[in-house]
């Protein structure tokens, strides 16, 4: 059999292929996905190859050492990549080990396979077993000689074919790609202002969305008599071009929402979550600091993710996320939450792992956060530093959010105490019913005061260095040794300024104001 992977490896998209696929779309009047178009093209190539093979191998037999052949007969040699040859001579064989047999001389149709001095010779009419004899099929039709089919080609080279095909389709300019499907621009249905106004009204009545295109079309009575698939494609294209509507579906699903009814913290990144990149020398970080950085998995840390798929991730809750009801879309967490490559915001449902309550939530992909956990945090009274887990559910539109709960008991924690335009820290007793990282836990009674201090730090444009100088002595005063762990510093800095651990750690190492006392513990030099 002709192996499919060799055939697929030489597969390339030709200009006539784009014309063929455009005609497929025109004749079918139905939008098709990249995979559907790729399959149609591959099948066409297979049909062309089978027709070519049928002509090439007409009246030819696959060479077998066990068979007899006549002069002038055409043969196919599997060991020479199915090249064809003509028998030009026959003579008796001479080898006592094989008994009586004959030898045929052949001339290959491909001149490069013919020796310059003599014809190639092959044994025939052998009575001894031979591998080639066992492999030969009883018929030599192109279908019997090839194991190529659409599924095998897609399995071996589908990704590469799809990538090249999509690039060529986009370059054509005549096709529109929308909601994972292609269709000729000239055949789009007319979606007028009236249709769009009705769609807005339908979404408005339903709380802004999210809603599928099919549901919206059903509510407005459709946009014509064309097939449903074409109506959906045309409506998607029109909605996508109107700023009133936002496509918020996860990968593989199209959902629409009214932009004006999306939460403000989804439309605009809250100041408390905005990170203004700080240049720093990563070579200053120690191996221990790199380990802490990897453990913290901050969404603004640019570290290559070692895995491509993950069903569950654990997150240590940071102050700005706890205050705003968000979670970081960090390297590991991003593999759990639903995303869409072309959609800046994705609407989905969070499920409380403790009691099953559901919360509407949003992935804000570009700004790297998930919104919609405020009620979850308040209900369970989770502190900053709590371990929060997120896990995929069987329903792809839902993510289960949970924490390690236990019966609440009183513990000493660090409490944020705003003073003027800065913050200090005090040890206070609080009832905690969740497991947490003792190095990162923080509490706050005066949230308005902390918010005001944060705003003051933004207005004064306090540098990272000045923030570190102000918080490390207060944190160190809470311990007998007068020192503070790097993770605690990271947690506290983010009360006043959103910052990943890398710049914080590098500043501690680079500035003589800070002294490392071993074990990732720090203090202000001279204290």
Q: What is the pLDDT of residue 401?
A: 96
Q: What count of other Cβ atoms lies within 10 Å of the Cβ of residue 40? A: 17
Percent of the chain with pLDDT over 70: 92
CA–CA distance, 137 with 119 (Å, rounded to integer): 26
Percent of the chain with pLDDT over 90: 55
Q: How confident is the model at residue 308 (pLDDT cuts 50, 70, 90)?
A: low
- Which position has the token pair 């901050």? 298
Q: Which residues does 96 contact at the CB level (< 8 Å), separation at least 6?
A: none
DSSP-derived pairing of the beta strands 102-108 and 83-92: antiparallel
CA–CA distance, 125 with 47 (Å, rounded to integer): 35
Q: What is the pLDDT of residue 111?
A: 85
CA–CA distance, 461 with 457 (Å, rounded to integer): 6
CA–CA distance, 30 with 190 (Å, rounded to integer): 15
Average pLDDT over residues 491-520: 94
Least confident of 11-20, 131-140, 417-426, 486-495: 131-140
Q: What count of other Cβ atoms lies within 10 Å of the Cβ of residue 345? A: 21
Q: List helix spans (H) across 206-358.
A: 213-220, 228-240, 264-267, 287-296, 319-324
The angle at the Cα of 168, spanning 165 to 169, to the nearest 5 degrees, equals: 85
Least confident of 6-20, 133-147, 320-334, 452-466: 133-147
Q: What is the pLDDT of residue 303?
A: 65
DSSP-derived pairing of the beta strands 60-62 and 74-77: parallel
Between the two ends of the chain, the Cα-to-Cα distance in Å is 80
Query: Are 182 and 31 spatial neighbours (Cβ–Cβ below 8 Å)?
Result: yes
Query: Are 329 and 369 spatial neighbours (Cβ–Cβ below 8 Å)?
Result: yes
Q: What is the pLDDT of residue 288?
A: 94
Q: What is the pLDDT of residue 251?
A: 75
Q: What is the pLDDT of residue 2?
A: 47
Element (H, E) at 34: helix 34-56
Average pLDDT over residues 1-27: 73
Distances (CA, A) of 176 to 31, 170, 181, 213: 10, 8, 8, 17
Q: Which residues does 350 contact at the CB level (< 8 Å), separation at least 6?
A: 358, 359, 360, 361, 372, 373, 376, 398, 399, 400, 401
CA–CA distance, 448 with 465 (Å, rounded to integer): 25
Distances (CA, A) of 511 to 148, 444, 462: 65, 30, 16
Distances (CA, A) of 142 to 56, 75, 139, 256: 9, 14, 9, 50
Cis peptide, bond prior to residue 210, ω within 30 of zero = yes
Q: What is the pLDDT of residue 119?
A: 78
Which of 251-255, 324-328, 406-410: highest mean pLDDT?
Answer: 324-328
CA–CA distance, 106 with 108 (Å, rounded to integer): 6
CA–CA distance, 215 with 306 (Å, rounded to integer): 40
What would the pLDDT profile of 234-254 be if each residue is shown by its tens digit? Answer: 999 899 899 999 999 887 788
What would the pLDDT profile of 90-135 be if each residue is shown by its tens digit? Answer: 999 888 888 889 999 999 988 888 887 667 899 999 887 655 555 5
Set out the domains of the chain in order of their start, with CATH numbers: 4-56+147-175 (no CATH), 78-136 (no CATH), 188-262 (1.10.10)
Query: Is it the case that residue 1 has pLDDT exceeding 50?
Result: no
Element (H, E) at 489: helix 486-496
Q: What is the pLDDT of residue 47?
A: 85
What are the backbone angles phi and psi of residue 441, rounded to the nearest 5°?
A: -65, 135
Q: How high is the mean pLDDT of the chain?
A: 87
DSSP-derived pairing of the beta strands 398-403 and 345-352: parallel
Query: Is it the case that residue 399 has pLDDT exceeding 80?
Result: yes
CA–CA distance, 40 with 145 (Å, rounded to integer): 22
Helices 501-510 and 287-296 pack at an angle, to 10 degrees, of 160
Q: What is the pLDDT of residue 492?
A: 95
Q: Render the burial of 101-137: b for 16+ CB within 10 Å, e for the rest.
A: bebbbbebeeeebeeeeeebebbbbbeeeeebeeebe
Q: What is the pLDDT of residue 307?
A: 60
Average pLDDT over residues 471-487: 93
8 or 384: which carries more pLDDT confidence?
384
Average pLDDT over residues 17-43: 88
């Amino acid at each position: 059999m002709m192996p499919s992977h060799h055939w697929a490896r030489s597969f390339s998209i030709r200009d006539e292929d784009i014309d063929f696929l455009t005609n497929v779309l025109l004749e079918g009047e139905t939008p098709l996905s990249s995979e559907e178009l790729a399959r149609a093209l591959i099948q066409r190539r297979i049909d062309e190859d089978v027709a070519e093979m049928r002509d090439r191998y007409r009246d030819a037999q696959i060479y077998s050492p066990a068979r007899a052949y006549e002069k002038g007969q055409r043969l196919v040699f599997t060991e020479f990549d199915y090249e064809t040859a003509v028998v030009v001579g026959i003579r008796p064989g001479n080898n006592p080990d094989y008994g009586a047999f004959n030898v045929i001389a052949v001339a290959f149709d491909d001149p490069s396979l013919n020796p310059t001095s003599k014809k190639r010779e092959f044994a025939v009419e052998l009575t001894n077993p031979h591998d080639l004899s066992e492999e030969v099929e009883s018929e030599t039709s192109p279908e019997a000689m090839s194991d190529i089919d659409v599924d095998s080609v897609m399995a071996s080279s589908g990704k590469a074919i799809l990538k090249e095909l999509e690039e060529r389709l986009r370059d054509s300019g005549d096709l529109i790609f929308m909601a994972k499907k292609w269709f000729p621009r000239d055949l789009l249905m007319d979606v007028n202002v009236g249709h769009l106004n009705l769609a807005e009204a339908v979404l408005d009545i339903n709380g802004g969305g999210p809603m599928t295109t099919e549901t919206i079309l059903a509510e407005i009575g459709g946009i014509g008599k064309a097939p449903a698939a074409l109506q959906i494609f045309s409506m998607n294209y029109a909605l996508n071009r109107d700023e009133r509507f936002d496509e918020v579906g996860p990968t593989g699903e199209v959902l629409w929402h009214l932009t004006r009814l999306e939460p403000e913290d989804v439309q605009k990144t809250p100041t408390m979550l905005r990170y203004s990149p700080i240049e720093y020398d990563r070579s200053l970080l120690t191996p221990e600091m790199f380990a802490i950085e990897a453990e913290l998995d901050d969404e603004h840390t640019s570290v290559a993710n070692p895995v491509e798929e993950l069903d569950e991730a654990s997150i240590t809750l940071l102050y700005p996320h706890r205050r705003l009801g968000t979670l970081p879309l960090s390297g590991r967490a991003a593999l759990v939450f639903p995303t869409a490559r072309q959609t800046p915001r994705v609407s989905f449902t969070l499920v409380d792992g403790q009691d099953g309550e559901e919360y509407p939530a949003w992935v804000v992909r570009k700004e790297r956060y998930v919104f919609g956990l405020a009620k979850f945090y308040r209900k369970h009274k989770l502190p900053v530093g709590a371990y929060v887990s997120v896990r995929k559910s069987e329903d792809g539109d839902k993510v289960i959010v949970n924490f390690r709960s236990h019966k609440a008991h009183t513990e000493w924690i660090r409490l944020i105490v705003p003073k003027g335009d800065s913050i200090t820290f005090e040890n206070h007793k609080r009832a905690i019913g969740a497991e947490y990282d003792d190095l990162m836990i923080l509490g706050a009674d005066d949230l308005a005061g902390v918010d005001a201090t944060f705003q003051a730090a933004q207005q004064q444009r306090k540098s990272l260095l000045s923030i570190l100088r102000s918080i490390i002595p207060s944190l160190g005063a809470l311990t007998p040794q007068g020192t503070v762990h790097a993770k605690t510093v990271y947690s506290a800095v983010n009360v006043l300024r959103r910052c990943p651990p890398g710049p914080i750690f590098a500043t501690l190492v680079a500035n003589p104001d800070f002294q490392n006392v071993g074990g990732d513990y720090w203090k202000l030099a001279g204290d």
